[in-house]
Amino acid sequence: MLLLLLIILIPLHKSFPLVSVIAICYNHEKFLIECLDSIANQTYPNIELLIIDSNSTDNSVQQIENWLHKNDFKATFIQHKTNHKLTQNLNIGLRSIKGKYFQGLSCDDAMTPDKIAEQVAALEAAAEDVALSYSGIYKVDEAGSVLEKELYCRPLQSANHRENIVFGSIFYSSAALLRTSAVRAVGGYDESLYYEDWDLALRLLKAYTFLEVPKFLSRYRVHSNSMTEVYNLDKCLSVVRLAMREYRQHPHSAFLSRATAFSKRIVIAEKLFSYRLTGSIEKVWPTFTLWLVQRNYKNYFSQPSIYL
């Protein structure tokens, strides 16, 4: 009997390496079951699931517990009593998972049934220096109706990932399947930042490359509280800090342009400078706003990065 069990399990491990899914929830009760069902309905046969709730104030926790009770799926549930940033939750997951590859997934998004199978096949056929594969997404509204399809976050400037990434992340987080060892090798996620994808991609591309899977394998939810739609102070500060860090190391004009653009958003939104100057002074407005933001939030710009 033991021999038979080994015969069954060994080919499964070799043919289908373990994939970990880190599903992160914060007040996602409207979309949660669709997300979890999309994980359970994957055609790929070797998945472990880690669900992290970041102190939701809606009915998310009860829904997660009910789903786990009804579904016979290998899963671990972490329930926080305080709110954690996305980058903190991803690092908690990264320290816990056992998969060769992993998928980070916000619980307002979902996957098509063959997403993990398609991307594992691509990564298994690729060289070890490929840190992740990314697909296209279906953008959907709150009701789940498809709004549009996109392969990239923004138009590609060239065929070289390193040239494209200076303008911002080229893939949606929910569309990426990552090689666990590569993400751990670069230190995981920067917990001082509000969001994760651009920073991680910039650091990975210093030693690795990416692989595009030109299929639409993820469902990205567009709603008023999604991270892509919200431009709060923490997000804007993260972009400015990250862009300036990279600009100092690699003075590409795209980094400076991105830093100044988000600095202007902060100045307007926070009313650090409540009116715009005209005439010849108007020419220095972008540089002035960048200086003003870094001056007013100097503690934020001087704090160290916190990785794994």
Domains of the chain (ranges, CATH numbers): 11-221 (3.90.550.10), 233-302 (no CATH)
pLDDT at 3: 33
Write down the residue that tokens 């394998």 correspond to: 217
**CA-based nearest residue to 289, from 307, 258, 256, 265:** 265
Q: Give the model's pLDDT for residue 159.
A: 87
The DSSP H or E segment spanning 66 is: helix 60-70
Q: How far is CA 216 from CA 173, 213, 233, in A?
A: 13, 8, 32
Residue located via tokens 């997934």: 105
Residue pLDDT tens, the chain, 308 long: 433 433 344 455 568 999 999 999 999 999 999 999 999 999 999 999 999 999 999 999 999 999 999 998 989 999 999 999 999 999 999 999 999 999 999 999 999 999 999 999 999 999 999 999 999 999 999 988 999 999 999 889 888 999 999 999 999 999 999 999 999 999 999 999 988 899 999 999 999 999 999 999 999 998 766 555 456 888 889 999 999 999 999 999 999 999 999 998 888 777 666 555 555 655 777 888 898 899 889 988 888 887 87
What tokens were used for 300? Answer: 């934020």
pLDDT attached to residue 268: 78
pTM to 2 decimal places: 0.89
